[in-house]
Chain A
Amino acid sequence: MKDFAKLFADLDETNKTNEKIRILKAYFMYVPDADKINTLALFTGRKPKRQINSTLVKTWAMELSKIPVWLFEESYQVVGDLGETIALLLPEPEGSQDKSLTEWIAEINNLASLKEEERKLWLVSSWAVMDRQERFVFNKILTGSFRVGVSQSLIVKALADISGLDASVLTHRIMGNWDPLHFSFHDLMQEQDASDDISRPYPFCLAYPIQETSTQVKSAEEMELALGNPEAWQAEWKWDGIRAQAIYRDKEIFIWSRGEDLVTDKFPELHRFMMDLPDGTVLDGEAICFSGECPLPFNVLQTRIGRKNLTKKILTESPMAFIAYDCLEYQGDDIRSMPLKYRRSILEKLHAESPHQDIFRLSAIVGFSNWKDLYALRLQSRENVAEGFMLKRIESVYQTGRKRGDWWKWKVDPLSVDAVMIYAQKGHGRRADLYSDYTFAVWDGDKLVPFAKAYSGLTDKEMSQVDQYVKRNTLEKFGPVRTVKPGLVFEIGFEGINQSSRHKSGVSLRFPRILRWRHDKKIEDADHIEVLRALLG
């Protein structure tokens, strides 16, 4: 635990990517394998189950801190994080401990069999032997709120460097349903894949945007110049749903969203078609609402996702379908390294054989013989309830993550980014009592840099939800402005973009506006500053 607490502190104390990788590598080389896999689990969001609820943790910490409840609450307001507040307020430690991370996690898991009084005794005596940093990290693990400012790709990079395994292989192996009790570091590092997790998805292949601004739209000629012969490319509409991977293995189905959430239960309509696929099939596609032959706009899907229970009403109002565009596994074989045209032929065969053509849909290939035609067609995207085109090289393999060159998204309204809200301010007039003016940020390495302010674009209902969020997640107040805990992602549209030395981000946007609230995205999924810089041309 000492090593892990130090790792966390060290990572906290640098903003430099290379330095983070160096710290991670040094840690992974030093700690025992069991700690390695537990660390990996924590860093990829696989937290141990919460055994004591935060209210009890808080109550017991309050008793120990010997300060009045209101003062504890005010301290919490200032600090903005419960685990940290407790770490700061507990009395000085009476001793020290040298249990490993793995041992502590085992103790946390053991709490399930203990009575409340025993849990309390355990927690109080655990705190008594930890220093402030250990307590902080421990509290975060205990309350299930562990988060680290290190992207998964950095951890993978560090592990790849020390193991000699390919980063894309590791990225794949750490996906899906595994836990450190049943999947060891040794399993992870095997030459041959040792996992028996049938739910495990493949890392998604992600597209780069074709860079355009409103004053610099790519002409057909420029597309020709950039991408070459149209015959080497396959064009499909870019659907406005949720990217998903549909898995059918050993008579079990799993649906994963791009954010690596298991969403099988959210889309019951898709289950039947998946059960009728041949065993050992994995499809990549878009989960999207359909009415008859027509895809419905994203907000229909969004409303559905927002609901806790799938009532009959919702199921009738927003029925789901799956638009498949790739096949990653066929008859139990990983076929990602086969060219797209081959994978497509398999996909078409699977589709033709499916008795559920209304649910299992094929992403149609849009025929074009020159870029001029496609350019003209793209302007009809909105009529097709699409966001533009996806362009995929016919000979391309299915890549891991975002790699430049083979997959491009060519949006009809290309000027948009996914951004994280970080500051909020009350509005004027009708909105005077609501936090309705927001500042948005994109990632710059591991930091969020503000780049635009926007206030229009949300419905009144959404605005009051955001208002609630702001009030509950304020980190700091500067006059009328609140610094908000990063947590909400929005798609921000704009008319143009300019270089700006006055702004921290180095860019200024023309007419930024909120296009929509991306409930389906985590803050890690927000765009990076490079996306904006690239738009500068």
Chain B
Amino acid sequence: MTQPLLQFNDKGIYCAAGDFYIDPWRPVDRAVITHAHSDHAYWGHKHYLAHSLSREVLYYRLGEISLETLDYEQETLINGVKVSFYPAGHIIGSAQVRVEYKGEVWVASGDYKLEDDGLSTPFVPVKCHTFISECTFGMPIYKWQPQQKIYDDMNQWWKSNAAEGRTTFIAGYSLGKAQRILQGLDLSIGKVYLHGVIANTNEALERNGIHLPEAQRVTPELVRESARGGLVICPPSAVGSIWMRRFPAVSFGYCSGWMSIRGAKKRRAADRGFVLSDHADWEGLITAIKATECESVCLTHGSTASFSRYLREQGFDAYEANTQYGLEEEENNETILEEKG
């Protein structure tokens, strides 16, 4: 009886043939990491393998770890199993992990999106027998608009806030979303400030050779009044904090795929919700899955039950897996780091 090449156990996605894990959530000897988000890159493994563009952020977030890196499409052997990375388009350095053993190919997507965001290397479909796909937004109600449209709305809003002497805040995850927001801003409108966590993340990315637009870190010395008319990018955990309330006349927008539902936007009590996501929408997921020409698809993150049922009805061999993914960032390390920033 042969085992599946990759299987889900209580520690993560396990490859028995190569004796390694992909994105494990409990300490293991050998971890292959799709990307540096905290629900995928946990602390405490003996040895890490990740994409080279994740290097500095991983060091920043996890400290001194034993890390080996690969570029996209570069191959390595782990106990005779071929492992390589392909672009996932999710955040800078995010990768799909391709695993090949005795002619059988599996791909673990990590998180991905299909739109080219201009920062991360665009998603590439990889042919495989089994595709482990995320489906955070695996409901047909999620349909994204092109990012330029969202950037235009964002800048328009910032401009009118600035005209009224308000300080604009945009909340988004510190790794990925924050850099996309920064990239989309029209810097002629005013000055851009970064929450400490985001400034740290950007510095880490710059050490990795990524060039990002200039923005000022919010330090304790910053005269808050001078930020009037400017725009502050902050992580979701900073919303409503004393840190944020010290700024004058705050108007705050929230940036997330969840903002496409009116109720979700209301509950955030945001002045504005911007539907900008680093995950694939419904159509994106289906397109990506078809493009892999896979025989089986295994779903993680979010609406796994509905999405796998739908795929099965469409003739796919689809099933859901229980994982610890999807608790993206928010309540994890951000809050702790915030104290320092």
Interface locus among A31-39, A67-75, A428-436: A67-75
CA of A136 to CA of B263, assembled, Å: 13
Interface status of B102 (Cβ within 8 A of chain A): no
Q: When the two chains form their complex, are residues B269 and A89 in contact, meaning their CB atoms are under 8 A apart? A: no
Cβ contact of B141, chosen from A68, A79, A447, A475, cutoff 8 A: A79
Interface status of A14 (Cβ within 8 A of chain B): yes
Interface status of A85 (Cβ within 8 A of chain B): yes
Interface status of A476 (Cβ within 8 A of chain B): yes
Interface status of B262 (Cβ within 8 A of chain A): yes
CA of A65 to CA of B262, assembled, Å: 20
Cβ contact of A65, chosen from B140, B263, B313, cutoff 8 A: B140
Which residues in A have their C-beta under 8 angstroms from that of B61?
Answer: none
Q: When the two chains form their complex, are residues A74 and B263 in contact, meaning their CB atoms are under 8 A apart? A: no
The contact string, 1 if C-beta is below 8 Å from chain A, for chain B 302-321, is 00001001100100000000
CA of A269 to CA of B4, assembled, Å: 78
Contact residues, A125-162 vs B (CB, 8 A): 136
Interface status of B10 (Cβ within 8 A of chain A): no
Which residues in B have their C-beta under 8 angstroms from that of A476?
Answer: 263-264, 267
Q: How far is the CB of B261 from chain A (nearest CB, A)?
A: 6
Q: How far is the CB of B131 from chain A (nearest CB, A)?
A: 21
Q: Given A71-B310, A74-B139, A75-B139, do A88 and B260 touch, yes or no (CB 8 Å)?
A: yes
- Residue of B262, B272, B310, B313 with most partner-chain A CB within 10 A: B262
Q: Which residue of B lies closest to A12 (CB)?
A: B262
Interface status of A15 (Cβ within 8 A of chain B): yes
Interface status of B271 (Cβ within 8 A of chain A): yes
Contact residues, B261-311 vs A (CB, 8 A): 261-265, 267, 269, 271-273, 306, 309-310
Which residues in A have their C-beta under 8 angstroms from that of B306?
Answer: 71, 74
Interface status of A278 (Cβ within 8 A of chain B): no
Q: How far is the CB of A470 from chain B (nearest CB, A)?
A: 16
Q: Given A13-B271, A13-B272, A15-B269, do A71 and B263 touch, yes or no (CB 8 Å)?
A: no
Q: Given A68-B310, A80-B263, A84-B261, do A75 and B140 touch, yes or no (CB 8 Å)?
A: yes
Which residues in A have their C-beta under 8 angstroms from that of B271?
Answer: 13-16
The tally of CB-CB contacts under 8 A between chains A and B is: 53
CA of A65 to CA of B140, assembled, Å: 9
Interface status of B191 (Cβ within 8 A of chain A): no
Q: How many residues of chain B are within 8 Å of chain A by beta carbon?
A: 19
CA of A14 to CA of B164, assembled, Å: 14
Interface status of A525 (Cβ within 8 A of chain B): no
Which residues in A have their C-beta under 8 angstroms from that of B143?
Answer: 88
Contact residues, A231-275 vs B (CB, 8 A): none
Interface status of A78 (Cβ within 8 A of chain B): yes
Q: When the two chains form their complex, are residues B263 and A475 in contact, meaning their CB atoms are under 8 A apart? A: yes
CA of A80 to CA of B269, assembled, Å: 17
CA of A78 to CA of B140, assembled, Å: 11
CA of A80 to CA of B139, assembled, Å: 14
Q: How far is the CB of B239 from chain A (nearest CB, A)?
A: 13
Q: Given A13-B272, A78-B261, A84-B261, do A71 and B267 touch, yes or no (CB 8 Å)?
A: no
CA of A88 to CA of B263, assembled, Å: 13
Q: When the two chains form their complex, are residues A85 and B141 in contact, meaning their CB atoms are under 8 A apart? A: yes
Cβ contact of A75, chosen from B141, B264, B269, B313, cutoff 8 A: B141
Q: How far is the CB of A490 from chain B (nearest CB, A)?
A: 21
Which residues in A have their C-beta under 8 angstroms from that of B310?
Answer: 67-68, 71
Which residues in A have their C-beta under 8 angstroms from that of B263?
Answer: 79-81, 475-476
The contact string, 1 if C-beta is below 8 Å from chain A, for chain B 8-31, is 000000000000000000000000
Q: When the two chains form their complex, are residues B262 and A81 in contact, meaning their CB atoms are under 8 A apart? A: yes
The contact string, 1 if C-beta is below 8 Å from chain B, for chain A 13-31, is 1111000000000000000
Which residues in B have their C-beta under 8 angstroms from that of A79?
Answer: 141, 261-263
CA of A84 to CA of B265, assembled, Å: 13
Which residues in B have their C-beta under 8 angstroms from that of A44?
Answer: none
The contact string, 1 if C-beta is below 8 Å from chain A, for chain B 233-277, is 000000000000000000000000000111111010101110000
Q: How far is the CB of A453 from chain B (nearest CB, A)?
A: 18
CA of A88 to CA of B306, assembled, Å: 17
Which residues in A have their C-beta under 8 angstroms from that of B272?
Answer: 13
Q: When the two chains form their complex, are residues A89 and B267 in contact, meaning their CB atoms are under 8 A apart? A: no
Q: Given A14-B271, A71-B310, A476-B267, do A89 and B262 touch, yes or no (CB 8 Å)?
A: no
The contact string, 1 if C-beta is below 8 Å from chain A, for chain B 209-231, is 00000000000000000000000
CA of A158 to CA of B272, assembled, Å: 22
Pairs A–B under 8 Å by Cβ, sample size 5? A65-B140, A71-B139, A71-B140, A88-B140, A475-B263
What are the 4 A-B residue pairs with the smallest beta carbon separation, nearest first?
A88-B141, A75-B141, A475-B263, A80-B263
Give the interface of B toward A (CB within 8 A). Answer: 139-141, 143, 260-265, 267, 269, 271-273, 306, 309-310, 313
Give the interface of A toward B (CB within 8 A). Answer: 12-16, 65, 67-68, 70-71, 74-75, 78-81, 84-85, 88-89, 136, 447, 475-476, 483
